[in-house]
Structure 1
C-alpha cells in the first residue's frame, strides 16, 4: 500500500512538472507582447497588412484575380457575386493600403516591400480598366459597383502622388469614364449616398463635370442624419453597428475635404465633420477590451477590423483627442490585429480571407457579402502611412482606456460632446 502511495505521489509530481514552465512561458510571452517597441509593432503591422492584401494586389497585377480568387457567399452559390466581388476586393484593399504606399521609398526591408507593392498596384490598376485584360473590373452591371468605386476613389484621394498621378492618361480616362458610368443607377437611401458623393467630388476635382444633384443630396442628407456625439443615423433610422466607422465618418470627412478647395463645401463644414469623426474615434478606442477583443454586433461584422477606421483615420491625421495618446492607439490596435491575424483562422489554405468574424463563420455573413467584401479589413492599418519616426511608432508602450479601467488605474470620464 505504501509502495502504491509513493507511485501515486510520483505520478502526480511528474504530471505537475510541465505546468510550471508552460505557465511561466505564457506569462513571459504575454510580457514580451506588452513590452514590444513601436518598431516591433510596426514590423508586425506590415506583415499583417501584407498577409491580407497581397493576394488581391499580386493577382490583379498578374491578370489572375478572377482566375485565382475564390468566391465564397453565404448561400454557397457564386452566381451574381462573380460580377461584383473582384471590384469589392480591389477597392477596399487599396483604400487601406494607400497611406502606406504614399510614403517615400527607402532602403529598409519595409521600404523594399512597400515599393514592390506600389509597383504591383500601379500595374494592377491599369489591368482593372483595360478591356483587353482578363481582370477588367465591372463598373456597369448591378448597383454594388457604386460602393466599391468609392473605395477606389478613397485610395486615390489618400495617395494621389503614389497611386493616381503615375497612371498614364489612357488609364486615368478609363477610370473617370468608369466612375461616370455609375450614374445610370442608384443604391440604398442611406450610407450609399456617400459613395456617390465621394466619387462625384473626385470627378469634380479632376476637372470633370460633376452630377450636382448627387453631390448636393449626399452632402446635405448626411449632415441631416447626424444624431449627435459623433454618430450619424444610417438613413432615417439609426442602426447600432460599425457603419459609422466603415463609411459614414471617414467618407464624409474625405468628401468635404475634397470639396472645400473647389468651393462646394465650407471650411466650417469640413471641420465640423472632422470633429465628429474625432469624437467617434473615442468610442472606437473605448470598445477595445483589455485583451484586444471587441464586440461583434450589428451588420457586416465580417468586415472585421474595419470597425476601427475612424480611429485609424484620426491617428493618421494627427487628430486624436487630446486625452488619447498615439501610443495607446498603437498598442490597442496591435492587440486587436494580433487576435485577428496572427493565426490563420481567418484565411483559407491559399491565403484568402474567409467569411466570418474571427474564424470561418459563414453563418454570420450578410446576403450582400462575398469574399471581396471582406477586404475592408485593411482600413484599420491606415496609421502605417505615418513614417517610422512618428511618435505613433516611437513613443513608449501605453495602456488603452479599458485596460486602465479594468486595472483600477485612473482614466478619463466620458461625456456627450456636441458638434
Structure 2
C-alpha cells in the first residue's frame, strides 16, 4: 500500500485495512468522536494483537523477531520478552477490561482472554513463554513495573487469573527486590511493584514507596517538570514514567490511606495531580497544527507514549479545565496519524519496528529493542472509557498551535508555583 493510500485509509477512522479484519464501524455513518474511537480501537488492536496472540498460544519466544540497533550494549536478549509484553499490556489493559456493548466488543473480549492466558504463561516455568524473571538483568525490574501497572489499571485481569498464577506473580515480583534501582526514574519501577502488592493485599515494602516519593519531591524543578535524578534533561521521561507512575502509585496509596512522612498522602496526591495537569498543558502545546511534535531526548522512538499523561488524565476524567476533552482527543488523533500514517512502522508480519515516524534502526538507543517500542500503547488509555463517555461524544476542537497558527484566539501561557 502506498503511503498516500495508507494515510487516506487512516483518516477514514480505521486501521482494519492493516490487518485484513472488518472495520469496527463504517466511518461515514459516525460522528467525529465515534470515528476517532474507531481509529484508536483499530490501531491499538493492530499493535497488541500479534503479541497477545503469540503469547497466549505459547509461541512468543519462538516467533517474535528480535531487533536491536548497531549500538546495542549486548544485554541478555531474554529481557526483550518481558519488555514487549509488559509495555503492551500497560497501555491496552483499560480497553481490554471494558465490558460494554460496542462494535469492537468481540475483538476486545478475544484480546482480553489472550491477555489472561499470556499472564498465566508468563509465570509458568513449564511454559515456552515463561518470562525468565530471574535473568539477573536490571531491565527486568523496569518492565515488571509495566506488567504490574496493567494489573493496577485493570483489576479485572488480576481477578480472572487462577490462584496459582496470582501466587506465582507475587513470588516473581517480590524476588525482583534484589535488583537495586539507581537514583533515577527507576525508583518508581520498584515503587510500582510495591503499590501493586498493596492493591492485591500482599505484604509490601513501605521503604521502596517512601524513597521514591521523597526523591521525586526533591527532584521537582517547577512548572510541572521533574529532573530524572540530580540533573534535569529535556526529554519525555516525564511522560514515559514519572508523571503516570507517580499518579498511579499515589492513588493506590491514598486509597489505602498509607502513611507517608511528608504529610497526609491525599494532600501529596492532590499536589502531584496539579503538577501532572500542568505538565499536560505543556504537552498539548507541543503538538503542531498537523500533529507533529519535537523528536527530543533519549527514547523518542517510544513514539506516542510521549503523550501518556494526556491519555491518563483523560481516562481518569482529570484533565484540567484548560484542556477540554474534545481538544485533547482531536490533538491526540492528529499525533497518532502523524506517527502511524507511515506503513513502515510495522514489519510485514505486523510487529512494531524501531523508529519514530516510520522505521529507522539508526535511531535505536543502546538499551532498547523492538519490544521496547510497545510502550506506545500508553497513549491509548482513553479507550478504557466507553463510547458513550463524553470524551468520545463531545465535538472535537482545535488545539493550541492549530488555533495560534490559523489566526484564532488562544490562551496565553504562564508558569505556576505549585
Fold agreement, TM-score > 0.5: yes
8 A Cα contact 1:105 1:115, kept in partner: no
Give the deviation of 1:363 after TM superposition.
1.4
Cα deviations by residue, 1:117-139 (Å, 9 ceiling, x for unpaired): 10110111100111111000122
Cα deviations by residue, 1:310-338 (Å, 9 ceiling, x for unpaired): 11111111111112111111111111111
8 A Cα contact 2:89 2:150, kept in partner: yes
8 A Cα contact 2:181 2:190, kept in partner: no
* Alpha-carbon distance between aligned partners in 2 of 1:264 and 1:122, rounded to the nearest angstrom: 33
* Alpha-carbon distance between aligned partners in 2 of 1:372 and 1:169, rounded to the nearest angstrom: 28
2:96 equivalent among 101, 109, 112: 101
Q: Equivalent residue of 1:227, what SS? A: strand
Cα deviations by residue, 1:342-365 (Å, 9 ceiling, x for unpaired): 341211111111111112211121
Q: Are 1:181 and 2:175 counterparts?
A: yes
What's the counterpart of residue 385 of structure 1?
384
Distance 1:36 1:261, change over 3 A: closer
Give the deviation of 1:45 after TM superposition.
0.5
Give the deviation of 1:187 after TM superposition.
2.9
What's the counterpart of residue 23 of structure 2?
none
Q: Are 1:137 and 2:131 counterparts?
A: yes
* Alpha-carbon distance between aligned partners in 2 of 1:393 and 1:261, rounded to the nearest angstrom: 28
- Structure 1 vs Structure 2 CA RMSD: 1.9
What's the counterpart of residue 41 of structure 1?
36
What's the counterpart of residue 225 of structure 2?
231
Distance 1:237 1:76, change over 3 A: closer
8 A Cα contact 2:73 2:366, kept in partner: no
Distance 1:135 1:79, change over 3 A: farther
Cα deviations by residue, 1:151-190 (Å, 9 ceiling, x for unpaired): 01110011102x1111110000111111001111123320
Distance 1:306 1:81, change over 3 A: farther
* Alpha-carbon distance between aligned partners in 2 of 1:78 and 1:110, rounded to the nearest angstrom: 41
Q: Equivalent residue of 2:132, what SS? A: coil
* Alpha-carbon distance between aligned partners in 2 of 1:146 and 1:55, rounded to the nearest angstrom: 24
Alignment of 1:355-366 (within 5 A): 355-366=354-365
1:64 equivalent among 54, 59, 64: 59
Q: Of the two, which has the highest radius of gyration?
A: 1
Alignment of 1:201-212 (within 5 A): 201-212=195-206
Q: TM-score, normalised by structure 2?
A: 0.89
What's the counterpart of residue 3 of structure 1?
none
Query: Structure 1: which 5+ runs fail to align?
Result: 1-21
8 A Cα contact 2:78 2:132, kept in partner: yes
8 A Cα contact 2:71 2:364, kept in partner: no
Q: Equivalent residue of 1:297, what SS? A: coil
What's the counterpart of residue 304 of structure 2?
305
8 A Cα contact 1:100 1:382, kept in partner: yes
8 A Cα contact 2:354 2:373, kept in partner: yes
Give the deviation of 1:208 after TM superposition.
2.4
Give the deviation of 1:43 after TM superposition.
0.5
8 A Cα contact 1:61 1:124, kept in partner: yes
Q: Equivalent residue of 1:318, what SS? A: coil
Query: Structure 2: which 5+ runs fail to align?
Result: 13-26
Distance 1:76 1:279, change over 3 A: closer
Give the deviation of 1:254 after TM superposition.
0.7
Farther-moved stretch of structure 1 (211-220 vs 275-284): 211-220
Give the deviation of 1:55 after TM superposition.
1.1
Alignment of 1:12-161 (within 5 A): 37-75=32-70, 80-106=75-101, 108-141=102-135, 142-161=137-156
* Alpha-carbon distance between aligned partners in 1 of 2:302 and 2:162, rounded to the nearest angstrom: 32
* Alpha-carbon distance between aligned partners in 1 of 2:181 and 2:80, rounded to the nearest angstrom: 17
Give the deviation of 1:76 after TM superposition.
7.8
Equivalent residue pairs, number? 389
8 A Cα contact 2:72 2:365, kept in partner: no
What's the counterpart of residue 268 of structure 1?
267
* Alpha-carbon distance between aligned partners in 2 of 1:264 and 1:250, rounded to the nearest angstrom: 21
8 A Cα contact 1:48 1:342, kept in partner: no
What's the counterpart of residue 332 of structure 2?
333
What's the counterpart of residue 315 of structure 1?
314
Alignment of 1:283-294 (within 5 A): 283-294=282-293
* Alpha-carbon distance between aligned partners in 1 of 2:72 and 2:221, rounded to the nearest angstrom: 38
Distance 1:401 1:260, change over 3 A: same
* Alpha-carbon distance between aligned partners in 1 of 2:290 and 2:36, rounded to the nearest angstrom: 16
Distance 1:75 1:408, change over 3 A: same
What's the counterpart of residue 405 of structure 1?
404
